[in-house]
Amino acid sequence: MNFARQSIPTLLFMSLLPLLVISQNASNLRLQEDYQIAIKKTTEKIELDGNLREEAWKVADVATDFWMSFPTDGERVPEEDQTEVRMVYDDNFIYVSAVCRDDNNYVIQTLKRDDPTFWQGDAFSVVFDPVNERTNAFSFAVNPANVQSESLISGNTGRRGDQRPGRPPTGISAAWDNKWFSVVKSHGDQWIVEIAIPFKTLRFEPNKMVWGVNFIRGEPQTNSYHTWSPVPVQFRGVDLGYTGSLRWDAAPPDVKSNFSVIPYILGSNFKDFEEEGAPNDLSFQAGADAKIAITPSLNLDVTVNPDFSQVEVDAQVTNLTTFSVRFPEQRLFFLENSDIFANFGIPPMRPFFSRRIGLDADGNSIPILYGARLSGNLNKNLRIGLMNMHTKETDEFAAQNYTSVALHQRVLGRSTVRGYFHNRQGMVDGEFQGSDYNRTVGGEFGYRSLDGKWQALAGYGLSFTEGLSGKNGFYNLAIGYDTRNISFYSNLAGIGDNYYADLGWIPSGDHYDAARDTMIHVGFLHNFTRFSYTIYPENRPKVISHVLGARDVLDISNSGDLIKNDFSVQYTINWTNTSSFTLEGTNADFQLLFPFSFTDGEPLPVGKYHFNYIELRYKTDQRKVLQLEGGLQYGGFFNGDLTQYTIGARYRTRPWGNFGINFTLSNLEFPDIYGDEDLFLISPRIEINFSENIYWTTFLQYNTQRDNFNVNSRFQWRFQPMSDLFIVYSDNYAVEFWGPKNRALVIKLNYWLNL
């Protein structure tokens, strides 16, 4: 196979990169002239009660006449569904009020804070870009039951709906948590929300008189999203290229003291059943996090003896690839401004991935002694990230010190020139080990036009590891184009045989050799190309869109051996009632460079494999009390066959309870000695929301591939903003030969103190 021929689309579009600079769209600059809302200081006390009685609200500027952003754009929201937003401030808070007209037939998916289903129900959100450079922002959202959901938004949130099933949206971190206040009151034909956001919660320049801002409304009865400043249908409402302007009557007040400490105490009881005679491990632990605002736009996070036992367990998947699965970062300490460190490389090849710190390959925690993380804006164009973490020595792992530095310099509107340095250093008895290290360094230019239609990337990096020299480079190129109907993206990347990123994520470079039970590192070239065309029917009583697409994934080792080439075509229909159906066909060529086994039989031998398969996916109306989704994959799989069934069901008792179950059965059939296998993954989930501050979640996972049955039950009481009591029970059992592996009970209390 000729790699150059396969990469023609990428190379052709790369040649157009110099022309992109002239494609900046001045219309996006005009949005902040056309969509302005003034914010004035008030000395009047604002009471959050959902009534808007204060005189300050009566004289405040009003943002209304919202636009449709989905399922269509270019037209105003009907008068009966319009929204009116007002804003004022005092020395401590920004106040936001929204009058959301509706018929009182609300859809509230859950009372749980930051739940993934939040935006499947009625909701209102304000998005602040305090630096107004379209690189990062904050979103604060509330639903009619006063359930809150806050998120960090990066400058690249991608095309609406471009994520694969089960993957979170690009550029949106809903795991971020911070202190703010809200009250909602229903008035029959409308619901009113009042929000108070402390200046201490935001990161901003004190003298910046114009912020980027937008307001978003989700209206599930019509399956629509509305925005104040218009956002094209192909982009998400939070896209920072389409913000209006928030204009201050005076410079926002200086935050004179912005120092928060979040101490915790924890008691736990752990029992290891796999170690014969092991006693119960009773332990008491204490630690603290601190958030220190060096400037209003630059924050220092410090953690001492952190514990992340309250973080929800990873949702397991059946892995039928020859590489590891990437799970998202959920630990709060690593989330704020995480894009400064993480947004290098391309999605399957990242020089930095924070889960490499303090977690092993199976997601089990490695104790962290301390960590410090400085991140934010030095000025309006320069963002920086500095981090140092130190893990303890354990029976399985040596102590490690991790250092990361990242810089982002904004140029050409929404584009950046950026660089990074990451270092892992082994330690023994408190001394650095000169031969136990891995370092990576690199730089990139990331281009994005003001209207978001064009994007491009070019980067190069090097790694340094003791005993290795030469062939240690990593390069990446990418280009993308998005309009209302057309979406195109292609990247080209490569790593040298001696390129290692111990703080990164490059799964296709590590191959498991089943014959020798070891991992082999292989340098390779990677090309990913996708194209889709979306048709929006003019009269859309039932159908929102038809999407026709194609995708090709190509990996070739540096010695010229094919690793894989997946080519697929896809058709998706999206209905107005939120249901959808997808049909996908794939032609696959794989070459196993080393023996690999998917069953208990003999490993599949080294060699080339060609096979085809089809996939069907369907989900029902997500607004209904009972929601269903299912899928089927059928066809070849290496030298055998694979039939995979997926079924998901969720029953919602509005709004206090959610009861769901996901089921995956993968039937693998290989010839003769290579074996057969039925892999089961069953994941029931129960969520009871006693109020918007008290939740109980129980998550069960029965996974025959990992020979594990897991119970994780978590009770959370948020007794004050950002102050919680957690009671977490976890239990793990072996599946094949039934028996307990380990069991733990944790009680944790943390309290947010503003000093």
pLDDT tens for 257-271 read 778 899 999 999 999
Percent of the chain's residues with pLDDT above 90: 64
| Prediction pTM value | 0.85
pLDDT of residue 168: 54
Mean pLDDT of all residues in the chain? 89
Q: In the predicted model, is pLDDT for residue 391 greater than 50?
A: yes
pLDDT of residue 28: 60
Q: What count of Cα atoms within 13 Å lies in the side-chain half-sphere of residue 217?
A: 34
pLDDT of residue 15: 46
Query: What does the alpha-carbon distance between residue 306 and residue 263 come to, in Å, rounded to a whole number?
Result: 10
Q: Tokens representing 69?
A: 């952003």
**Mean pLDDT across the stretch 519-534?**
94
Phi, psi (5° rounding) for residue 442?
-175, 175
Higher pLDDT, 430 or 268: 268
Residues sharing a CB contact under 8 Å with residue 19, sequence separation 6 or more, in sequence order: none
Q: In the predicted model, is pLDDT for residue 468 greater than 50?
A: yes
The DSSP code for 602 is P
Query: What does the alpha-carbon distance between residue 325 and residue 164 come to, in Å, rounded to a whole number?
Result: 14
pLDDT band for position 622 (cuts 50, 70, 90): confident
Phi, psi (5° rounding) for residue 44?
-75, 140
Count of C-beta atoms within a 10 Å radius of residue 599: 17
Query: What digits encode the pLDDT tens for the residues 96-151?
Result: 999 999 887 888 888 888 778 888 889 999 999 998 888 889 999 999 999 999 98
Query: What does the alpha-carbon distance between residue 137 and residue 241 come to, in Å, rounded to a whole number?
Result: 11
Percent of the chain's residues with pLDDT above 70: 95
Q: Tokens representing 499?
A: 């390129």
**Mean pLDDT across the stretch 554-559?**
94
Is the link from the previous residue into 655 a cis peptide, with omega within 30 of 0? yes
Task: Give residue 450's region: left, alpha or beta (phi > 0; psi -120 to 50).
Answer: alpha
Residues sharing a CB contact under 8 Å with residue 170, sequence separation 6 or more, in sequence order: 156, 157, 158, 162, 163
What's the one-letter identity of residue 423? N
State how beta strands 36-41 and 244-248 pair.
parallel
What's the one-letter identity of residue 526? H
Residues sharing a CB contact under 8 Å with residue 263, sequence separation 6 or more, in sequence order: 286, 287, 288, 750, 751, 753
pLDDT band for position 623 (cuts 50, 70, 90): confident
- List the beta strands (DSSP E) in 483-523: 486-495, 510-513, 518-521
Query: What does the alpha-carbon distance between residue 193 and residue 85 come to, in Å, rounded to a whole number?
Result: 10
- List the beta strands (DSSP E) in 25-155: 36-41, 62-63, 67-70, 83-89, 93-101, 123-129, 136-142, 148-154
- List the beta strands (DSSP E) in 392-453: 399-411, 415-428, 431-448
Query: What does the alpha-carbon distance between residue 94 and residue 96 come to, in Å, rounded to a whole number?
Result: 7
Q: Is the dihedral of CA 395, 396, 402, 406 positive or negative?
A: negative
